[in-house]
Structure 1
């Protein structure tokens, strides 16, 4: 049965993992990661729940107005970094000058972005950019325009339609002139698209893409059932030795990140956070509990209740990395990969935890994640607090820890008995060999 499933899943997972566009998208999001983490940490510090006990409202407001730029210049314009990253890494994958691919993609996206803002009173201000179009609302249009611009640009470059400079011209100047015609053609195409949409249809692609594509997809991605399907696939892929997190996140990250950005905007405005499922939810309450599969609880269960020397040694090796959510020593050392005795708890425990976490947030017992980016290496307890801005987030992680612990324990005891029997047989065989050697001597 495992061979049949593996023969079906492995080729599909391999194609997804090696897909040029998914790889580019993954790298583009990682380009923005350090910036968004910095912005998130500033947001956390400015919104500590006990801050009002030490500082006056006026002081808090001043601090927020002064240092809030850190969030506005990072997380609020995350689409800008992603668009540049897509253009850069897509061009690089085709061995085309990457920097020019990045700036052309960014300019193409801005061509489609309205430089107007409508106030609450209905007044239209021109010559300004709305932050939401550079953040959550513009994410999908940004990705689409960056890929299209990147493909147009690289095809023109690869057709060698360029201005050639004579030898001896500085490389920076030569590269700029070589990029001139491809950039000119690409930007002209996007300028014409903008003109047609604005003049003929009297709208903009931001609103069209958001209404037709992004809003339905984020609505689907924020649901519990689709999330459970994704978690199931992540666990199943890992069982067959494939990095389920990378494969599935390449597909889901645009949706989850858009949800996180919408949460952050609401949190900063003092409004109710609209989404439970988001990138922060997935990182903090699944990966953030010992790595994929939440195996920190598995390590604890082995150290406390298991007698097998082999399993205890694996747990000792995997304990320290597991605290920081790195669990490859457990996945490959226990092993979890292709181990039928472990398949049930490996798949069931994350699904149960996701359902329990979602329920606790849905009923309001635990706040939903605020949308700040919490690095996935932050240990359990700390990450829960940072993600929800509440100690209840930490307590929920601890409750989830014991849920995983309880689900895994019966299966670990069965594996322990198998390993103990095997270790006893090996010890008896070693003793018999030693006695035989003594007799022969």
Structure 2
């Protein structure tokens, strides 16, 4: 076991940490955070649009327009916020970066123009399904702008006001960026979004199988057990996860059942209850512990645990490198919760799959689960998980508690 832990820490972790600290990956996360207020407003309208008609049929469709014009333009606005986030890291003009990125996004979507000046483009491409194109457009555009700025390959405009210099600085790279996007989309006849859908479809189907879903859960929990935050894997899983939630959101908007389960949204709301390893119920046990040490730590970590943040528990209790607490951590996080969720969402379809592209991991799981699925049965599923989790944690917790009590008596 020690050899495996050493291999993960010395060989596997360093390149993964390098990946997650990459400025492009951090800019993607920053872009989502910047867009979150609009996305949450869209979530409210989507819930109203789907829940109110159940009680008041006359309100059917009343909130469809504000839903479509917030959620419906998810990818467009995300393009801007990702570019803005990356531009701040590169210390270049974030507004120019965002605007050029939106232009590239539209070009890569290949709208079809008619003779009367109108154009045709599915609204789905502006929403969650367009997330990958948004990421490509924002990163490509902003990195090129940053390169030209760094190399000083820009029009000089000394002696002019700052706002005038901002006009001229991106002219050369901006022209080349738009030209490149136009050439790829129209001269090479390359549809990035359609091509991605073709390539990623078999991977999505595989990841949604029971084996694929379980492998994802196991990897995340094993990493945390050896002290590595599983967020380092997000850069690898992002393309699959975003494609999955995008397709689910589009299907749901059309009144069709969503089909995908393996995505960050599922893990955030239904697997990591209290944090990776499903430690929320462990925290509840600590609140009632006879050990003063455990009770004090339980009180300190309770609020973060409600928000699904459990690093204080992982490294404070500790759970990492702890063979006793590591067993229930793995059982709950890698086996129990994934199996229950898969049975409820995929095998039996008793609970709706996530359809809300808003990524809101730092709110209580029962609220988050409902917001993501817009299904009240999601709350019941999470309560069932809590019940099973606390049963699994209990005997191992009592063993650890006895050890802590013995230590406290020895010190007293």
TM-score normalised by L of structure 2 = 0.89
d(CA) in 2 for partners of 1:196 and 1:93?
Answer: 33
Tell me whether 18-27 or 5-14 shows the greater mean CA deviation.
5-14
- Once the two structures are superposed, residues 391-427 of structure 1 have per-residue CA deviations (whole angstroms, 9 ceiling, x without a partner) of 3211110110112112211211221121121112112
Matching residue of 1:79? 75
CA shift in 2, pair 1:15/1:95, >3 Å = same
d(CA) in 2 for partners of 1:125 and 1:367?
Answer: 42
Matching residue of 2:263? 278
Matched position secondary structure for 1:77: helix
Matching residue of 2:281? 297
d(CA) in 1 for partners of 2:239 and 2:32?
Answer: 9
Matching residue of 1:241? 227
State whether residues 138 and 210 of structure 1, in contact with CA within 8 Å, keep that contact through their aligned partners in structure 2: no
State whether residues 276 and 310 of structure 2, in contact with CA within 8 Å, keep that contact through their aligned partners in structure 1: yes
- Once the two structures are superposed, residues 334-360 of structure 1 have per-residue CA deviations (whole angstroms, 9 ceiling, x without a partner) of 122332322222222112201111112
Pairs within 5 Å for 1:379-418: 379-418=364-403
Displacement of 1:5: 3.6
State whether residues 128 and 357 of structure 2, in contact with CA within 8 Å, keep that contact through their aligned partners in structure 1: no
Displacement of 1:140: 2.4
Matched position secondary structure for 1:114: coil
Aligned length: 406
CA shift in 2, pair 1:71/1:151, >3 Å = same
C-alpha root-mean-square deviation of aligned residues, in Å?
A: 2.6
State whether residues 140 and 210 of structure 1, in contact with CA within 8 Å, keep that contact through their aligned partners in structure 2: no
Matched position secondary structure for 1:381: helix
Displacement of 1:262: 2.1
Matched position secondary structure for 1:341: helix
State whether residues 152 and 186 of structure 1, in contact with CA within 8 Å, keep that contact through their aligned partners in structure 2: yes
Pairs within 5 Å for 1:246-395: 246-287=231-272, 289-304=273-288, 306-351=289-334, 352-362=336-346, 363-371=348-356, 373=358, 375-395=360-380
Residue number among 131, 144, 147 corresponding to 2:139 in the alignment: 147
Matching residue of 1:211? 198
Provide structure 1 residue ranges, at least 5 long, that are not aligned to the other structure: 119-123, 428-441
Residue number among 209, 218, 221 corresponding to 1:232 in the alignment: 218
d(CA) in 2 for partners of 1:398 and 1:424?
Answer: 36
State whether residues 281 and 369 of structure 1, in contact with CA within 8 Å, keep that contact through their aligned partners in structure 2: yes
Provide structure 2 residue ranges, at least 5 long, that are not aligned to the other structure: none
